[in-house]
Amino acid sequence: MHELSIALSILDLAEEEGQNRGGRVTAIHVKLGRLSGVVREALESAFEMAREGTALAQAELVVDEVPLVIHCSACAADGTPDSAYELRCPTCGALTNEIVRGRELEVHALEIES
Amino acid sequence: MSTDPRLVQVRQNVLKRNDEVARALRLRFHEAGVYVVSLVSSPGAGKTAFLERVLKSLRECYRVAALVGDLATDNDARRLCRAEVPVKQITTGTVCHLEAEMIASALEGWRLDELDFLFLENVGNLVCPSTFDLGEDLRLVLFSVTEGEDKPLKYPTIFNTADVTIITKMDLAAAVEFDAVSAHRSIQAVRPGMETFEVSAKTGQGMKEWLNFLQCRSTKQSVAR
């Protein structure tokens, strides 16, 4: 359950950014990659616990899931593998280690009310 | 007067703080000329037995040390002390993984330039440690023959963030009818091209190959510097 550490980091980051931009943060948009190692449901419930008693107690967490995208050098194309457990090109079936997207764990945007 | 909230792009990595500390650690390690290896596995995969064997072999020719993470107790550190190298326990309390900050504070007072290899044994957990960079040069993921050949498929993230797989307890392979071909297929599916070693800390099987690999890697890195 490292999602609580992650939720606390998200709150710290949002609070800092909110203060810098002067306003009340009403929502935090987070990009969560398929291979980020973070479970969406666990993060959402950890966030609800973590925000209590903070300046962001009313802020919503909006999770934007990012699918896994790999690059296949044989096809010279990007694609989403059929299974996240096999980094296999959906077109030709070759294995590849080039991950284009899917590791994201970032605070993408904030909704700020002034 | 309140207006509709405005959407502001932020684009900040959530683990920015950990990544910054890890980057600073990596720089310190490189400047001191110490090669840093971290170990992750599920509880009971044999990390400590493997590490004890590695420390004992390496200390013949190198200056080695280890940091060991556990939720509670210093049993692992005491076990590793038998290898007669500096070992320090990091007790994480309720935290299920090591973070870069914990490494930085555990290293306070250590002379890194007096070390050739430093090992970081993570808390037994195949999920949480995957997200946290510790500033290591090489990340090992271990799983034992008793855990099932499809372990990599069940925990793709940790295998994908690791550099090397160590299959442990090979002395039990026949007894549990371990299917090596299927295990290697699973590893290659989640991390194509991953280097894998089959070892037994008990009999010493495969240790030579792995230690040769480690020494080559660390030499390559120090030449590259």
ipTM of the prediction: 0.83
CB B117 within 8 A of CB B67: no
| Residues of B in Cβ contact (< 8 Å) with A69 | none
The Cα of B118 is separated from the nearest Cα of chain A by a number of Å equal to 25
pLDDT tens figures, A49-98: 999 999 999 999 999 999 999 999 999 999 999 887 889 999 999 999 89
Q: Would you say the C-alpha torsion A51, A56, A62, A63 has a positive or negative sign?
A: negative
Q: Would you say the C-alpha torsion B58, B59, B61, B62 has a positive or negative sign?
A: positive
CB B170 within 8 A of CB B192: no
- Residue B42: the pLDDT is 94
pLDDT tens figures, B144-179: 999 999 999 999 999 999 999 999 999 999 999 999
Cα dist. B55→B1, B37, B81, B85 in Å?
A: 66, 12, 10, 7
| Chain A residue nearest residue B126, CA to CA | A37
Strands A24-33 and A105-113: antiparallel
Q: Per the CB < 8 Å rule, is A37 touching B11? A: no
DSSP, res A87: -
Helix and strand counts by DSSP (H, E) for chain B: 8, 8
Q: Per the CB < 8 Å rule, is A111 touching B5? A: yes
pLDDT tens figures, B87-98: 999 988 877 889
Tokens for B43, please give them.
């509880």
Place of tokens 């710290």: A12
